[in-house]
Structure 1
Amino acid sequence: MRDTPSRALTAEAIGTFALCFVGILAINVDAISGGEGAASLASIAFAHGLTIMVMVAALGAISGAHFNPAVTIGFVATGRMTAVRGVQYAVAQLAGAVLASLLVAWLFGLDVVRGGTPAVAPMVKPVGAMVVEVVTTFFLVLVVFGTAVDHRAPRSVFPFAIGLTVALDIMATGPITGAAMNPARALGPALVSGAWANHWVYWAGPLLGGVLAAFLQHRFLMEHAPSPATAEHGGPAPAEERGV
């Protein structure tokens, strides 16, 4: 079956939908179930990380499994994806996030969506929060390029590496900024719930961090992708391209 843009965009929407749906519910599991102590920072981190891990494994061959405008802008900035395709990817990602947030709101109410919207901690200045998002997204995109794009990396490692990077970033900075690392993950619930406080942090930080990491990998750390398909999708090169 021949790959088409519509399949790639559908994959991007599904993956981002899954991230937002699972992430919002994981944060609010106590409020929804009436339980106490079911949610923890570790469980929230691994809910996000495991979702990314399985969705990258399932959909990476179709779209490259960006699920994040900060990843996509890294591909565009380094010439690995056209600007038009990058905008299409971002629209699909944002649509998936909004649809997931709407579904959660319909099922469990706006308060749950509001509780799952990334927010800056009261004692943290917005500029400091932005820097935290720059650093955590830098780590994420660095790992994406180093494992999913660099054809020297083992083919099987990148879903685990990317998912675990999301988890470790959330465990380190979740209480500080919500550890969005992803404008779509912030916009979806914000748009549905109206929780717009410091929303610019979740665009400026991740997009800047994504571009910085992509340029570092592309210009200095890694070899250029051996084929246009590998460059755009971000998956490891086929065995024949790697001389295996």
Structure 2
Amino acid sequence: MPISRIAIGTADELTHPGALKAALAEFFCTFIFVFAGQGSGMAYSKMTSGGPATPAGLIAAALAHAFALFVAVSVGANISGGHVNPAVTFGAFVGGNITLLRGVLYWIAQLLGSTVACVLLRFSTGGLETGTFGLSAGVGVLEAVVMEMVMTFGLVYTVYATAVDPKRGSLGTIAPIAIGSIVGANILVGGAFDGASMNPAVSFGPALVSWSWRHQWVYWLGPLSGGAVAGLVYEIFFISNTHEPLSAVVDY
């Protein structure tokens, strides 16, 4: 059972060169993802003079995030596993595939990467506002939490199926493509309702830079819950208790 493999880790892990190198990789991966994804939204807003979101804008956002995540996961795969998302890290933790302390390092790096990306975007665009996540008219907080939970479940389930499962074989080579694709598809589904974050770091950076925290908790509770459920479901039902040991870092 995954619960038996959950580990806190040791204090030495916080200063171990390998763990610090992995955290640095997560910083850069998340920076790359947020800079491209958030930047695409800012560019669209500038080209349309800040007009309302349109179907074309939603498609552009989906493609930008899908491509950016494909790259971000790929460049971090051999160092940290390319989580790029606190919800993915949390899902790996509850499944017993990463220690809590290493996960905390990843979280700090991911949040910093997102924040730095938003600061640089705001500076390099002449002070344009970074877009924060919010709920559309008629969408309540409960509906948004469920939406974020379901979308993140699909994302983390895809991570497990293509990257974590020891039986993945050659499927692991297309993991970054599959992970980027599910995020792009989910944006087409949830983008018009709550912005389709699926990633606490993606919502945290813009909120901090713009100092706008309305409904921020939705973009933590939903993704973390969905990631945890996906990790437990896949570990319990699809990964045998006798599978080969997994390293502390999810290896894509």
Q: TM-score, normalised by structure 2?
A: 0.86
Structure 2 gap segments, 5+ residues each: 1-16
Asked if 1:233 corresponds to 2:249, the answer is: yes
- Runs (5+) with no aligned partner, structure 1: 237-244
Aligned-partner SS, 1:156: helix
Match of 2:201 among 184, 193, 210: 184
Q: Once the 2 structures are TM-superposed, how far is the Cα of residue 203 of structure 1 from its aligned partner?
A: 0.4
Query: Which whole-Å deviations, capped at 9, do the CAs of 1:78-135 have from their partners, x for residues lacking one?
Result: 221111111111000000001011111112255431xx22211122001100100000
SS at match of 2:123: helix
203-212 or 192-201: bigger deviation: 192-201
Q: Does the 8 Å CA contact 1:170/1:179 hold for their aligned counterparts?
A: yes
Hey, what's the Cα distance between the residues in 2 that align with 1:38 and 1:204? Answer: 27
Cα separation, partners in 2 of 1:109 and 1:228, compared to 1, 3 Å: same
Q: Compared with structure 1, are the counterparts of its residues 38 and 102 closer, same or farther at alpha carbon in structure 2 (3 Å cutoff)?
A: farther
| Structure 1 segment 93-242 matched on structure 2, within 5 A | 93-109=110-126, 111-113=128-130, 116-153=131-168, 154-223=171-240, 226-229=244-247, 232-236=248-252
1:12 aligns with 2:26: yes
2:45 to 28, 31, 35: 31
Identity score, percent: 37
CA distance in 1, matches of 2:160, 2:67: 19
| Counterpart residue identity of residue 133, structure 2 | P
Q: How far apart, CA to CA, are the structure 2 residues paired with 1:11 and 1:96? A: 10
RMSD of the alignment, in Å?
2.1
Q: Find the aligned partners of 2:112 and 2:196 in 1 and give their Cα distance.
A: 20
> Which digits, 9 at most, give the CA deviation of each residue in 1:34-81, with x for residues without a partner?
679896211110111111111211211100011111011111112211
SS in 1 for 2:177: helix
Q: Secondary structure at the match of 2:107?
A: helix
Cα distance change of structure 1 residues 28 and 38 upon mapping to structure 2, 3 Å threshold: farther
Deviation at 1:187, TM superposition (A): 0.4
Q: Which amino acid aligns with 1:117?
A: T
Q: 1 CA distance for matches of 2:153 and 2:45?
A: 32
Q: Decide whether the 8 Å contact of 1:11 with 1:62 is kept in 2.
A: yes
Q: How does 1:64-83 map to 2 (within 5 A)?
A: 64-83=81-100
Shift of 1:235: 2.3
SS at match of 1:62: coil
Give the whole-Å Cα distance in 2 for the aligned partners of 1:88 and 1:128: 31
CA contact (8 A) 2:42 2:128 kept: no
In the aligned structure 2, how far is the partner of 1:107 from the partner of 1:38? 27
Partner of 2:6: none
- CA 1:38–1:212 in structure 2 vs 1: closer, same or farther (change >3 Å)? closer
